[in-house]
């Protein structure tokens, strides 16, 4: 049955064998294909480990380099901060806890610079909030300090600027916090490029600070200092006095510093006598520098020693070039602003100071709009003070 009677003798067996071999080959090919298909489906349906996904999305920081140690020493690793360049050392104790130490790196010109653009200014969304790393608790309140990685308040709270080498002008309007209506008008009317200085003896400073920072302003703290003719000529409570002991002066200074946060530095209010006394001024400037702040001299005293002390301490400092509202008339103030512009064009930068009078606010707002159209960049005072440290 099933035999071809017409085929030559012996061909039936060879034909049958060929059919059997073909069938076997087809079977093995089918099994092999089914195996490949099954493996592909398994691989496609098998979930990828989360650690692999994380590695693909974010390679993470470069591995820390272990430090070669003697036997018995606790394991230690050292990393360099990508923003500040500070050395971050982590040591594991015998109980498993980790001790982290921040050490500023030497300024040898290699690696990240302290004054990198990423370290200047706050995110506008958090400009009203102080950086907790830049504050310390004290008996008189929270005081500004340099952060563990070397970040300074003068950098954190500075108003960013272009970095161009054109004509730069900083305008500082002081006396804020003493009058509610005057303070509100200054914050609302003045361009955000104008630096605002708040009197340490003012009221509701935390509230006004938030309004000013929300409006984009860089801010300073004005500290009353002993003028000539004191007490007949009295700046008010909390005045730093020449004849006090250093500890008393610093305590009064710290009480003023704790009145608000988010400022880049301090500015004197009066202070003709105090600024001319090396014994009184030097510890104050040293404390300001040690906390990572700038100092602005309002330029009112020809005998002031602040510039020399600031240079000796290698700290951010500056002295105002022009008092803008010595005559309280809008046209006179506009002329002073034109004079400030001439100084800036001659020197590359200049600083003008004024008080928060209606006439001053109106004149500065008008002039600033026209000056920007002439290509003048109005910057926060920190942009100029920081250059004195370079």
For the domain that residue 327 is a member of, what is the CATH number? 3.20.20.370
Domain shared by 226 and 79, yes or no: no
Judge if 207 and 307 occupy the same domain: yes
Residue 7 has pLDDT above 90, yes or no: no
Give the Cβ contact number of residue 12 at 10 Å.
Answer: 14
- 146 lies in the same domain as 212: yes
Q: Are residues 94 and 154 in the same domain?
A: no
Give bridge partners of residue 329 from the DSSP assignment. none
* Any domain includes 27: no
Domain closes at, from 74, 104, 134: 104
End-to-end CA distance of the chain: 108
What H or E segment, with its residue span, contains residue 388?
A: none
Model confidence at 35: pLDDT above 90: no
Q: Residue 146: which residues within 8 A CB-CB, separation 6 or more?
A: 134, 152, 153, 290, 291, 292
- The neighbour count for residue 136, using CB atoms within 10 Å, is 12
SS3 state of residue 369: helix
Domain count, the chain: 2
Distance of alpha carbon 171 from alpha carbon 321, whole angstroms:
10
The SS3 call for residue 323 is strand
- Are residue 361 and residue 302 in the same domain, yes or no? yes
At 3, the pLDDT band (50, 70, 90 cuts) reads: very low
Mean of per-residue pLDDT scores for the chain: 82
Does position 101 have pLDDT exceeding 70, yes or no?
A: no
- Do both 335 and 202 map to the same domain? yes
Which pair of structure tokens corresponds to residue 202? Answer: 């003012």
- Same domain, yes or no: 335 and 369: yes
Pairwise CA distance, residues 227 & 199, whole Å: 16
Neighbouring CB atoms inside 10 A of 9's CB total: 6
Same domain, 252 and 292: yes
Distance (Å, rounded) from C-alpha 129 to C-alpha 213?
A: 9
Q: Cα–Cα distance between 265 and 322 in angstroms, integer?
A: 19
- Here the tokens at position 314 are 């290698």
Residue 22 included in any domain: no
Instruction: Tell whether 177 and 231 lie within a shared domain.
Output: yes
Residue with tokens 């009353």: 224
**Max CA distance (Å), the chain:** 142
Per-residue pLDDT, 12: 46
Q: What is the pLDDT of residue 303?
A: 97
A 10 A CB-CB count for 91 gives 17
Note whether 87 and 177 are same-domain residues: no
The residues, ordered by sequence, that sit 6+ positions from 277 with a Cβ below 8 Å of its Cβ are 242, 305
- 75 and 156 together in one domain: no
Q: Are 170 and 219 in contact (CB under 8 A)?
A: no
pLDDT digits (tens, 9 = 90+) for 281-315: 999 999 999 999 999 999 999 999 999 999 999 99
Q: Is the pLDDT of residue 107 over 60?
A: no
* Local structure of 350: helix, strand or coil: strand
Decide if pLDDT at 66 tops 60: no
> Which comes out higher in pLDDT, residue 342 or 47?
342
The parent domain of residue 98 ranges over 65-104
Q: Are residues 182 and 258 in the same domain?
A: yes
Does residue 56 lie within any of the structural domains? no
Is residue 113 one of the residues assigned to a domain? Answer: no
User: Rounded distance, CA 306 to CA 285, Å?
Assistant: 8
Q: 113 with 139: CB under 8 angstroms?
A: no
């Amino acid at each position: 049955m099933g035999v071809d009677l017409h085929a030559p003798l012996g061909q039936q067996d060879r034909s049958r064998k060929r059919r059997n071999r073909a069938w076997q080959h087809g079977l093995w090919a089918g099994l092999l294909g089914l195996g490949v298909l099954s493996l592909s489906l398994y691989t496609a349906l098998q979930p990828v480990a989360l650690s692999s996904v994380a590695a693909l999305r974010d390679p993470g920081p470069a591995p820390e380099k272990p430090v070669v140690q003697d036997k018995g020493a606790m394991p230690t690793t050292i990393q360099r901060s990508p923003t500040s360049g500070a050395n971050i050392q982590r040591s594991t104790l015998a109980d498993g806890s980790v001790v982290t130490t921040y050490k500023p790196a030497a300024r040898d010109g290699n690696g990240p610079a302290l004054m990198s653009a990423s370290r200047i200014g706050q995110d506008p969304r958090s400009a009203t909030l102080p950086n907790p790393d830049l504050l310390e608790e004290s008996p008189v309140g929270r005081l500004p300090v340099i952060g563990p990685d070397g970040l300074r308040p003068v950098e954190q709270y500075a108003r960013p600027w272009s970095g161009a080498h054109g004509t730069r002008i900083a305008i500082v309007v002081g006396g804020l916090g003493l009058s509610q209506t005057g303070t509100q008008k200054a914050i609302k009317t003045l361009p955000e490029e104008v630096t605002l200085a708040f009197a340490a003896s003012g009221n509701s400073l935390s509230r006004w600070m938030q309004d000013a920072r929300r409006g984009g302003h860089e801010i300073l703290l004005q500290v009353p200092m002993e003028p000539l003719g004191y007490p007949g000529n009295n700046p008010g409570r909390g005045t730093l006095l020449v004849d006090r002991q250093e500890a008393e002066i610093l305590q009064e200074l710290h009480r003023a510093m704790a009145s608000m946060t988010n400022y880049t530095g301090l500015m004197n209010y009066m202070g003709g006598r105090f600024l001319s006394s090396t014994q009184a001024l030097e510890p104050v400037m040293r404390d300001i520098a040690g906390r990572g702040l700038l100092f602005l001299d309002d330029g009112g005293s020809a005998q002031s020693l602040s510039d020399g002390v600031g240079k000796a301490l290698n700290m951010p400092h500056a002295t105002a070039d022009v008092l803008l509202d010595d005559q309280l008339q809008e046209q006179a103030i506009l002329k002073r602003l034109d004079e400030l512009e001439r100084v800036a064009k001659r020197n590359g930068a200049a600083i003008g100071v004024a008080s928060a009078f209606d006439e001053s606010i109106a004149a500065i707002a008008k002039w600033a709009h026209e000056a920007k159209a002439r290509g003048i960049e109005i910057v926060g005072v920190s942009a100029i003070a920081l250059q004195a440290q370079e």
